[in-house]
Amino acid sequence: MARAILCTLLFVVLGACASPVIHPSGHESAMPSLSNDHFIAHDGISIPLRSWIPAGQEPAAIIIAVHGFNDYSHFFAEPGAFLASRNITTFAFDQRGFGATPAPGIWPGVPSLIKDLETLTALLRARHPGIPLYLFGESMGGAVVMVTIKQARDTGTPLGIDGAILSAPAVWGRETMPWYQNAALWLSAHTMPKAKLTGQGLKIMASDNIEMLRALGRDPLVIKKTRVDAIYGLTNLMDAALEAARSLDLPSLILYGEKDEIIPRAPTELMLSRMPEASVASRKVILYANGYHMLTRDLQRQTVWRDIAGWIDTHPGVARAK
């Protein structure tokens, strides 16, 4: 009993020493606007933007691609070019806290991530009225897409999108983690939030495309050392995304690799079980036997690209009102 009391007191004392840092967006201070290589967010921050546009013709559809944790907009370069050849335009942006945005490596908070995606979606919807618009999210980006859709549902504010494409969405919420992992994460985030982890030694394979992984290691805009409080923030996002699955009732394409070592199968199956029964007919799930976490960059990536293009071809903007 004495040991239990001592441990409890230790947690309380250490918990008072520090707290996770969040670098949220500012107050409404600017009119959002869209340029070729960036957009201006509601607080005046310039967000880097990349695009892959079909030459000389109006696109059949538009995708907004949202990258994963520690990554940035360049992640969609190859699939973006492929989809442009199929008359599909893609826009990808650096999420706050990542890439070339201010304060890279500092967690921006879920509300800020949602607000930026809402802003870019509204800007592109206004610029391209009548063209089907889809949100694509990889890993953490998939979680951001899910919580953004849920917020739109909760507030009754239509996003003006026609569907969602989720590639290995980050839904590994706390309810699917072992208790000791939850405890260790909380303790670390509240005692040493600035500590940085590299993941070296974990022997986790994110993709079978080794040359691509080496290129990421050389890319200065890819974060290599992750703050503990950023991992804590990501886990908060994954909690919210797993709950948001209940709101994903629009046409959706879910992609998952059987060899994914980043997002376990169990939380992914729980996410699927929570999606509305009424939307089963408009939902497609593809499992790739040889797929890893980075499906759009794996060695079999072109198969995934073709699946994305094929799915969009069969969903010509039927759900924009949602």
* CATH code of residue 160: 3.40.50.1820
> Is 17 contained in some domain?
yes
Q: Which residues of the chain have pLDDT under 70?
A: 1-17, 316-322
> Is 222 contained in some domain?
yes
In contact, 114 and 152? CB cutoff 8 Å: no
> Is 143 contained in some domain?
yes
Q: Residue 241's closest CA among 140, 108, 167?
A: 140
Domain with 6 in it: 2-313
Structure confidence at residue 320 (pLDDT):
40
> Is 189 contained in some domain?
yes
All residues at 6 or more sequence positions from 192 whose CB lies less than 8 Å from its CB, including other chains: 18, 228
> Is 110 contained in some domain?
yes
Entry pTM: 0.92
Structure confidence at residue 17 (pLDDT):
55
> Is 322 contained in some domain?
no
Number of domains in the chain: 1
Structure confidence at residue 317 (pLDDT):
62
Give CA torsion, residues 309, 311, 314, 319, to 10 deg: -110
Query: What whole-number distance in Å separates Cα of residue 92 and Cα of residue 19?
Result: 32
Structure confidence at residue 18 (pLDDT):
77
> Is 318 contained in some domain?
no
> Is 244 contained in some domain?
yes
Q: What stretches of the chain show up as alpha helix (H) in DSSP? A: 2-15, 77-85, 110-127, 140-155, 179-191, 210-218, 228-244, 265-274, 301-313
